Structure formats: structure tokens, C-alpha cells
Amino acid sequence: MTDAFKNTPPAPEDKGAMTAENIGAALAGESQASQKYLAFADVADAEGYPNVARLFRAVAYAESMHARNHLSVLGKIGTTTENLKAAWGGETFEIDEMYPAYDAVAKLQENQSAQTSIRYALKAELDHQGIYDSTLKGVEGRNDLDAKPVRVCPICGHTVIGDAPDECPQCGTAAEYFREF
């Protein structure tokens, strides 16, 4: 490994409001591309193209690295405590403002699929907010999160620490399908 590869993203610089705005837009675009390519990979797998799926996952990883670099340049990566507080704040915004507003529009336009997607996300954001809150308290007391698995429903995103429920309370998915982290 050479000195040129330090395994660290670019450092933040407070220079240029327009540049910061552009990097923020690039962060959003790269994040969306990463997620889109992961979804494309699942389709390729389902259609019997495992090597196309592998390509999509590799490029999704690259897009994710771009997004991470942009996040670093914007100065939005801090200590674990700062990151937990930022994550909690993001979940709170989604719970209190973003998803209720989006749901109101989906209801007005009678878009049932959007309402379901929003409901799933909002319920999962509540899970995340609670998990971040308790985790932050542990980190502030210099304690790591328990070594229990984190399990996520692959349909609605319901997230639990420890055992998955027999059936997801949000969408009914069986415990055996939850993804373990």
C-alpha cells in the first residue's frame, strides 16, 4: 500500500457556498445511484444474470464511495456520538415533517402504493430513532451496543435488535426472511 492510499475520505473545507451546494447535490445523486443499482442487481439475479448483478453491485459500491467522499467534504462525518445525534435528528425530521407531508399529498392524490411505501418507511424510522436514542445513551456512557444481531424486514424495513418477531408487525413478513446484520 502506498502513501497515496490512506483509506480516508477527503477532508472538509469551508470554501465556497456554491461548491458546497454542488457537492450536496452530488451526494444526493450518488446515493440514489447506489440504491438504484442495488435494486437493479436484485432484478438481474432474479432474471438469471448473476454476473450482471455482480457488476451492478460493484458499481453501486463505487457510487457509495463517491457519496461518502462528498459527505466528508461537507463536514458531515463526526465522532460516533455526533453521528448518532445526527442520525437521530435525521430520523426525527423524517418522522415529524417529511413523511407526514408526503403522506398527505399521496392521500390527496389517492396513491395507495405511495401511502404504503410511506407508512412502511415512517414506521421503520420510528424503530431507528428509538435504537439510535438508546445506543447514544450507551456511547455517552462509554458502552458499545450489545453484540446482539440487528435484524431488518426486507419488505418494510422494520428494524429490531435481537430476535425478529415471528411476523413483522408492519407488513406481515415471516421472521425467517429478516436480514441479519
Residue 89 lies in a domain: no
Range of the domain at 55: 17-73
* Encoded amino acid at 24, one letter: G
54-78 pLDDT tens trace: 999 999 999 999 999 999 999 999 9
Per-residue model confidence (pLDDT) at position 133: 95
**Does residue 30 lie within any of the structural domains?**
yes
Residue 142 in any domain: the answer is: no
Quick check: is 45 in a domain? Answer: yes
To the nearest whole percent, how much of the chain has pLDDT over 90? Answer: 91
Specify whether the CB–CB gap between 152 and 159 falls below 8 A: yes
C-beta separation of 37 from 57 below 8 A: yes
Number of domains making up the chain: 1
Q: Side chain identity at 82, as an amino acid letter?
A: E
pLDDT of residue 1: 46
Secondary structure of 6-28 in the HEC alphabet?
Answer: CCCCCCCCCCCHHHHHHHHHHHH
**11: its cell numbers:** 477532508
Predicted confidence band of residue 5 (pLDDT cuts 50, 70, 90): low
Whether 99 is covered by a domain: the verdict is no
Radius of gyration of the chain (CA): 19
Q: Which CATH number characterizes residue 36's domain?
A: 1.20.1260.10
Q: Do the domain assignments include residue 68? A: yes
User: Is 118 contained in some domain?
Assistant: no
Other C-beta atoms closer than 10 Å to the C-beta of 153 total 27
**Inter-residue contact 77 to 83 (CB < 8 Å):** yes
Q: Is residue 130 part of a domain?
A: no
Task: Tell me the pLDDT band of 178, cut-offs 50, 70 and 90.
Answer: very high
